[in-house]
Amino acid sequence: MTWTNIKLILIRELKDQLRDRRTLFTVVVLPLLLYPLLGLSLIQITQFFREHPVTIWVVGAGNLPTDPPLIRGEEVASEWLPENQASLVRLAISPVDEHGFCEIFDRFRRAQESEGTLELIDQWIQQQMAQRKVDLTVVIPRPVDADVADASLAPKPNAYMLTSSASDKSRIALERWQSVLNRWQLALFERRLAERQMTMADALPVRFEVMDVARKAERNSAAWSKILPLLIMVWCLTGAFYPAVDLCAGEKERGTFETLLSSPASRSEIALGKLLTVIVFSIATAVLNLASLTITTTFVMSKLSHLAGGPLGVAALGPPPLLSVFWLVLAMVPVAALFGAVSLAAAAFARSSKEGQYYLVPLIMVSMPLMILPMLPATQLDLGTSLIPVTNVMLLLRSLIEGSFDPVLRYSVVVILVTLLGVAAAVRWVVYQFNSEGVLFRASERFGIGAWLSFVLQHRGDLPTVGHALLCGVLILLAKFFVSFGVGVPDDWYEFGRQTFVILLATVAVPAVLMATILTRRPLLSLRLTWCRPSFIAAAMFLAVCFHPAFATLSRIILAIYPPAHDLAALHGLIENLLASTPPVWLLLLVLAVMPALLEELAFRGFILSGAQGVKNQWLAVAIASFFFGAAHAVFQQSLLTFFVGIVLGFLAVRTGSLLPCIAYHAVHNSLTVLGANLAGSQWLSSFEWLLSVGERGGISYHVGPALFMTVTGGCLLYWMWKETSRADIKNFDFSRLGRFCNQLRGVYQDLA
């Protein structure tokens, strides 16, 4: 790789983009104009945000206490309304019971169980309010003091506020009247305490006062720490996507892409040159947006400071702290590299600029959950969240802006490593796209469902394609998602077993088998239902035993990093209750070990992995199948564990070419997990004290020495299988050599013991 060629391509692409008026407008002009125009518009439209008076009809005002008075004349007493709201509350007074409201409400109480009667009363009240053009009706049917004196009537309402939730003015009138009542009732309470020679401190011995000890600068930083990281992510993504589409799909349309590919520069150098160009524009977009937003916010907030606490609820928000700008600019580089690489890979896959624009929505749909997660109040930077791409950078920025350096010192290294790993993977994806002739020179074509189905059925291959594999995985995930809503809680173990079998069969096995039958000419080969030597099956079973301690330890690590939520604990409690019926061990293993191994392997290591191998990279194909295998498990912690188990299963499937070793490994792995969880307290495990022990909560844990030896043995067996199971030697694999290898391992362990 020659950096001179990369530099020349970078300069070429930068000049080309700078000559494009649309790019200059989107990256430079739009950020500088957008926020000032929005701020100016906000200032201009504030003149329309004025409060309007509301009219409140008070019926039976004479029944209210007069000391202190709530109503003075035809208006609310001035001491109960702030000065700026005195003209916003108008009253229509009816000192006596007008139109028999007391009688109506008595009937209302007697007819509470009759829905039809209630509806008629509501319609009559709405008519009365509409005739008088009032927003709220307050009814005091009898003297309030008389109700309080009568203990039998004290629990009942002695005043009513009739509002309409369908009217905004009615809701506003209710809020204003309630604020008036709160002030008046507090004064009335203090007056009556004074009559009994009591003080407020005597009646309420404990009175709390809320005091905000945070400084203004800290409150300002806390507000910006939730806003700016999200905006930086969005700006970097949008700033990278449009130049990436123009650099790839746009050049395909202009016919200049072939000229560039014919130059002395290699595909990797071209890809890196274009990637650096996209990164430059992504960072420029984010920086210009940040500068424009900072200046506009400072100006607009100074102009709108008089509205703080007013009808708009505008808070006094100052400009972002200067140090936070430094952290944001520093974080833009890896974020722009990540989003730039992903955008460039998607743009290289597009046939045209129009198709490339459509890929922005899926990118945003995938990125938004990772961006929204740090916005939740309960989310904080810890070991679990530091392993999540995009989310970890946002949480790190949030801690830096807020000045919380303790989590930064703990997890900044993890965040940097995960981000760099994501950038490296995305860059590798870009280089792979540019090295693929089928991706770069995809012809533009029209799509029709009928034509596509006809083409698929007439040109079926022996094996599924990558598209078929992805479609099958998505269908399985959708089927499991919708079926989970229609499944009830089983009453006993046998119903749980039947339910598990039906769900696995209908949502996992059936889609894979049907797609293999319809979309391929050799369904058995597509599902890897081919025979293999018994030595492979024995090796897979032995490998499952060797790796079980490692996966048990990995499970505990995952649970420590991502503690289970309350719902997961409730699910475990439900399963324990079902297992309390003590089903036979063979039935337990059949439902929880053998049946999932058979049905799940048909789909994930069968059809999906066979189709995913069309990417011409066996490890990428294994990762794709393992991703769907993990995502098919509803619990996040279990999904992570099954992903790594799927890597081992994918290795067995790729190297042996058969599904039988995968089924054997899967069944043994599940059987060991089930037996360890349900036979922890039995005498059967006493003979394995040298290997494992029973924990305080009933689970089992492996001793470090034997567990490490078994894991190393499994690794040696994997390496040995890698060497022995080449495509030419699969059928000539010698079972006796595996036996000699096991004898050698047993001798080594005896010597160590």
Contact 97, 141 (CB under 8 A): yes
Q: What is the DSSP letter of 317?
A: -
Do 373 and 474 fall into the same domain? no
Is pLDDT of 405 > 60?
Answer: yes
Do 30 and 68 fall into the same domain? no
| 239: confidence class by pLDDT, cuts 50, 70, 90 | confident
Q: Which of 440, 455, 475 is the last residue of a domain?
A: 440
**Could you tell me how many residues make up the chain?**
753
Is pLDDT of 43 > 70?
Answer: no
CA dist list (Å): 236 to 279, 323, 460: 9, 20, 42
Is pLDDT of 61 > 70?
Answer: yes
Rounded Cα distance between 599 and 505, Å, is: 7
Is pLDDT of 264 > 70?
Answer: yes
- Of 613, 624, 615, the closest CA to residue 654 belongs to 613
**Out of 45-59, 167-181, 261-275, 505-519, which region has the weakest mean confidence (pLDDT)?**
45-59
743 against 676, higher pLDDT: 676
Query: For 271-296, how does the pLDDT look when each residue is reduced to its tens digit (9 = 90+)?
Result: 888 889 889 988 988 888 888 887 77
Q: Partners of 162 in the beta sheet?
A: 137
Do 188 and 328 fall into the same domain? no
Do 346 and 414 fall into the same domain? yes
Q: Specify if 451 maps to a domain.
A: no
Do 88 and 196 fall into the same domain? yes
Q: What is the pLDDT of residue 543?
A: 92
Q: For residue 501, what are the contacts with CB-CB under 8 A and spacing of at least 6?
A: 591, 595
Q: What is the pLDDT of residue 604?
A: 93
Q: What is the pLDDT of residue 50?
A: 59
Q: Is 520 helix (H, G, I), strand (E, B) or coil?
A: strand
Q: Report the b/e string of 37-72 with b at 16+ CB within 10 A.
A: eebeebeeebeeeeeeebbbbbbbbebbeeeeebbe
Q: Please give the helix or strand (H or E) that residue 57 lies within, else none.
A: strand 54-59
Contact 41, 77 (CB under 8 A): no
Q: What is the pLDDT of residue 533?
A: 78
Q: Specify if 193 maps to a domain.
A: yes
362 against 473, higher pLDDT: 473
Q: What is the pLDDT of residue 150?
A: 43
| 672: confidence class by pLDDT, cuts 50, 70, 90 | confident
Is pLDDT of 116 > 60?
Answer: no
Q: Specify if 436 maps to a domain.
A: yes
Contact 712, 630 (CB under 8 A): no
Q: Which of 203, 237, 261 is the last residue of a domain?
A: 203
700 against 667, higher pLDDT: 667
Rounded Cα distance between 676 and 665, Å, is: 17
The counts of H helices and E strands in the chain are 33, 8
Mean confidence (pLDDT) of the chain = 77
Query: For 178-195, how does the pLDDT look when each residue is reduced to its tens digit (9 = 90+)?
Result: 888 888 888 888 887 877
Q: What interhelical angle do 566-579 and 493-504 show, nearest 10?
A: 120
Is pLDDT of 417 > 90?
Answer: yes
Q: For residue 354, what are the contacts with CB-CB under 8 A and spacing of at least 6?
A: none
Do 568 and 676 fall into the same domain? yes
Q: What is the mean pLDDT of residues 115-140?
A: 74
Do 701 and 568 fall into the same domain? yes
Is pLDDT of 657 > 60?
Answer: yes
Cα torsion for 614, 617, 623, 626, to the nearest 10°?
A: 40
Q: Specify if 155 maps to a domain.
A: yes
Number of structural domains the chain divides into: 3
Q: Specify if 344 maps to a domain.
A: yes
Is pLDDT of 307 > 70?
Answer: no
> In this structure, what token pair is assigned to residue 325?
């700008």
Q: Please give the helix or strand (H or E) that residue 575 lies within, else none.
A: helix 566-579
Q: What is the mean pLDDT of residues 154-178?
A: 77
- 737 alpha carbon, distance to own chain's centre: 50
Q: What interhelical angle do 267-303 and 322-349 show, nearest 10?
A: 140
Highest mean pLDDT among 203-212, 377-386, 626-635, 682-691: 626-635
Q: What is the mean pLDDT of residues 721-750?
A: 55
Q: Partners of 161 in the beta sheet?
A: 138
Q: Specify if 457 maps to a domain.
A: no
- 101 alpha carbon, distance to own chain's centre: 53
Q: Please give the helix or strand (H or E) that residue 33 lies within, else none.
A: helix 30-45
Do 370 and 415 fall into the same domain? yes
Q: What is the mean pLDDT of residues 647-661?
A: 90
Q: Which domain range does residue 91 map to?
A: 54-203
| 213: confidence class by pLDDT, cuts 50, 70, 90 | low
Q: Specify if 454 maps to a domain.
A: no
Q: Which of 380, 408, 440 is the last residue of a domain?
A: 440
| 602: confidence class by pLDDT, cuts 50, 70, 90 | very high
Do 159 and 240 fall into the same domain? no
Using a 10 angstrom Cβ sphere, with 0-12 exposed, 13-18 middle and 19 or more buried, the burial of residue 652 is buried
Q: Specify if 458 maps to a domain.
A: no
Q: What is the pLDDT of residue 727?
A: 45
Using a pLDDT cut of 70, give the percent of the chain over it. 72
Do 615 and 713 fall into the same domain? yes
Do 669 and 547 fall into the same domain? yes
The residue whose two tokens read 């009759």 is: 114
pTM of the full predicted structure? 0.70
Contact 286, 236 (CB under 8 A): yes
Do 341 and 431 fall into the same domain? yes
